[in-house]
Structure 1
């Protein structure tokens, strides 16, 4: 099929997506993925549908017993390139959960009954894949995560300033109780709520839709456990601080360890999930 595909790709690009012969009148795209084994870019012409405002492709392989190579590729690297004939754009490929997949496939079959014939030829369930266009203008849940991180970073900065004042002797026990403790409680509660929401909601959803992210999401969840231990230590130090008796330098050193861990965690999280969250859960505004 390689030579045949190459000819189709050449004709597709020469005629801006318009094909003749057996493909005349059909809506096709060119999907470029990164080879799961080779690491090389692979391009495949695919039939596609626009369903409920999203681009959908089916890993039918014409009813063959095995999934097509491009499907294995997107499970290893969800970043893809889509060519329509008139434009080229970057996208990420999502694998919907079972219930969503079933609903989508029913709509696919309603629009293109041939896919039902492909399904009847094989015992494997034909995967349905959503291609989410990456657009810098898209705002969604990923941007909300960044906003939460920025607020948390601001609280970290405020806490660090308060601890510096303690170390330098610029505050007394009363100020410590009213200001630093209040910020510490606010910060710790917000951070715990944020991480719980990710562990219970965002991370499982992303792992389902983007299998390639699963190991990274597992690592980020493990980071949450480390952070929880560090923030408990900080909170205990702040709430148990006795002016003139406790060691403010230890407080500052432990706080810096937490802040450093959190900054690295925030950066890793933003790199891994912001784009995926934006295209999966776009803003309603």
Structure 2
């Protein structure tokens, strides 16, 4: 099929998306993925549909017993390039969960009954894939995540300033200790709530829709465990702090370790999931 695909691709680009012969009248796109094994760019012409405002493609492989190569590619790397004949843009390929896939496939075959024929030819379930356009202007849950991180960053700075005041003796110790304890409790509860929400909600949803994110999401979950341990240690130090007996320098060092690990975690999480959250749950 490689030679045939190359001919279709060449004609598609030459005629700005319009094809003759067996493809005349079809709505096609060129989908470029990164090879799961080769790491090289692979381009395939695909029939696509617009359903409920979403660009949808089906990994039918014309009813063959195996999934097409491009589907394996998007499970390894969900970033793709789409050419329509008049424009080219970057997108993210998402695999909807079972119930959503069934409803979507019903709409697909209502528009293009040929896909029902392809499904009848094979025992494998034909995957349905949603192609989310990446738009820098789009705001969504990813931007909300960054806003939460920025708020937590500012709270960390305030806590660090309080620890510095305690170490240097710049503030009345009893007043400062009470204020630091209250602020520490508030921060730790907010951070725990944020991470619990990710572990119970956002991360499972992303893992289901974007299989390529599995390693990154596993790492983020492991980071949460490390951060929770550090939080517990910091809170114990702050709540057990006794002026003249406890070591403020140890408190500062442990706090700095927490802040460093937390910032690295925030930065990695933002690089990894902000874009997919924005396209999946736009504001």
> TM-score by structure 1 length?
0.98
For 1:140 and 1:175, the matched residues in 2 are separated by 41
Confirm whether residue 68 of structure 1 aligns to residue 68 of structure 2. Answer: yes
Structure 1 match to 2:128: 128
For 1:54 and 1:140, the matched residues in 2 are separated by 16
For 2:39 and 2:224, the matched residues in 1 are separated by 32
For 1:155 and 1:56, the matched residues in 2 are separated by 43
Gaps of 5+ in 1: none
1:94 Cα offset (Å)? 0.4
Aligned to 2:67, the other structure's residue is in SS state coil
4+ runs of 1 displaced by more than 3 Å?
none
1:227 Cα offset (Å)? 0.3
1:24 Cα offset (Å)? 0.5
- What is the Cα-based RMSD across aligned positions, in Å? 0.7
Deviations 1:76-132, CA, capped at 9 Å, x for gaps: 000000000111000010000000000000000000000000000000000000000
Structure 2 match to 1:263: 263
Aligned to 2:119, the other structure's residue is in SS state helix
Structure 2 match to 1:147: 147
Q: How many aligned positions are there? A: 283
Confirm whether residue 235 of structure 1 aligns to residue 235 of structure 2. Answer: yes
Greater CA drift, 122-131 or 162-171: 162-171
Aligned to 1:123, the other structure's residue is in SS state coil
Deviations 1:27-63, CA, capped at 9 Å, x for gaps: 0000000000110000000000011111000000000
Confirm whether residue 191 of structure 1 aligns to residue 188 of structure 2. Answer: no
For 1:76 and 1:218, the matched residues in 2 are separated by 15
* 1:1-285 paired onto structure 2 within 5 Å: 1-283=1-283
Contact 1:172 1:243 in 2 (8 A): no
1:175 Cα offset (Å)? 2.1
> TM-score by structure 2 length?
0.99
Aligned to 2:255, the other structure's residue is in SS state helix
Deviations 1:54-75, CA, capped at 9 Å, x for gaps: 1000000000000000000000
For 1:216 and 1:131, the matched residues in 2 are separated by 21
1:179 Cα offset (Å)? 1.9
Gaps of 5+ in 2: none
Contact 1:173 1:242 in 2 (8 A): no
